[in-house]
Structure 1
Amino acid sequence: MSNLGTLSYYLGIEVRQGKEEFTLGQSAYASKLLERSGMAKCKPCVTPMEEWLKLTKASTVAKVDATLYRSIVGGLRYRVHTRPNIAFAVGYVSCFMEDPSEDHCAAMKRLLRYVEGTVDPGIIFPKTGRSRLQLTMFSDADMAGDIDG
């Protein structure tokens, strides 16, 4: 085995190491995903999902290309590795991969607009000396609001 130097890129994840912290990000991957989806120069938005959004599998709106929808949602699922704040929205649009319609696609495009506005951030792990790493997470899941039950 040979020493290949400091880790800087692994499986599409950029690793930036500093004296006080190291950061995992996917800015290049996010840019490629936006280009592939035709949303590279879109207007960014500040939230990944509309508040109180209710979608259903039994939508009567026109259907969209399921293969393209699945491809983009799959790319967003990979993006969650370094952006856990979009996990809920990505999981929500993933529920409609079987038979997506235009309203499902609109929710996915909203999520892509959020990604456009937040391409660079990633996960920051501070180096805290001898103290142990403390990971704190919060979750807000509204399973009672699921109209497809």
Structure 2
Amino acid sequence: MSKNTVSIYLDLLSKVFIIFKVEGFRRNLRKEIVKSSRCYFYDIGIRNGIINNFNRLDSRTDVGDLLENYLAVERVKKQKYLKIKTNNYFWRTYDQQELDWLEEKGEELAGFKFKCSETKKVKIPAAFAKAYPDATFEVINKRNYLDFIT
């Protein structure tokens, strides 16, 4: 399938509220990737139907992707409900440093990393900390995700 055909399908899915896109964030750093976007499903059941995987979480290999989609869509719902005006992005560099979710409210910038596990210590990506020293950073996991989405 051609890139243009995929783009048309994704645009259609966006227009009928099946998916929404989040663009890459960039402020003049050559190492940042912005040409790609991420798509999230409003209904994770549709996502599971497309990939034909309705297995329990303990037998799935895409738990991290499911968590990311869930947190993204619930965060957008929270923003809409509370009328929080923010621009949402993801952030990634060519050397694979990454933040799953980035929020820009005026001059304020907040970065979030989504993790299924609480055991592994996660630090802010060095390139992000250097480029955006005033930005906040938080890891969202099973312990604190409700604060992020409610």
- Structure 1 length-normalised TM: 0.26
Q: Give the number of the structure whose residues are more often strand, by fraction.
A: 2
Q: Which has the higher contact order (CA 8 A, sep 6+)?
A: 1
Structure exhibiting the larger radius of gyration computed from Cα positions? 1
TM-score w.r.t. the length of structure 2 is: 0.26
